[in-house]
Amino acid sequence: MAYCTVDNVQALIPLVHWNHDGTGADPSANDVLGYIENISATIDSRLAALYAIPITGATALEIVSSICARLTAIRVWAKAFTAHVGDAAVPKDWSDASKELDRLASGEAILEDAGSLALGSAQAPGAPNMTMRELREDPLQDQVIDPVFTERQVW
């Protein structure tokens, strides 16, 4: 699922530098659609361990859409602006999108209304799921067993 549109990306870039509706736009709107699909897949892969993919919660989708649009804008900027002017600098807000994605993927920040895998099912990564049977009595309680590891062992 694409998390943003070409129009979302265009809203970040002045028309004087790139106009996706203009003739001979470089990159073309189709190129940018490819960038969006690629970046959306990257976002999904980064968030898949924590959230149900695709992200669908309204607030979470707004955050992820913003990240996708800004990361795509960086790619468009590199081709449309940097190639013509030679200035590789992008707005700080755009470069912060990568940091935001890192924070979400690490669990340092959360998407409030996104489907969390840890809460969604007992089999999800990180879910507390006890599969061992309960023993009422230890069958080895009378046997002396040497410890496998000692307290003084150095690794």
Given a contact cutoff of 8 angstroms between Cβ atoms, the answer to whether 117 and 63 are in contact is no
- Is the per-residue pLDDT at 127 higher than 60? no
- Mean local confidence (pLDDT), 107-124: 71
Angle ∠(97,99,101) on CA atoms, nearest 5: 70
* Model confidence at 88: pLDDT above 70: no
How high does pLDDT run on average in the chain?
83
* DSSP three-state, residue 51: strand
pLDDT band (50, 70, 90) for residue 30: very high
CB 110 within 8 A of CB 43: no
User: Residue 154: is its pLDDT beyond 70?
Assistant: yes
Cβ contact 109:118 at 8 Å: no
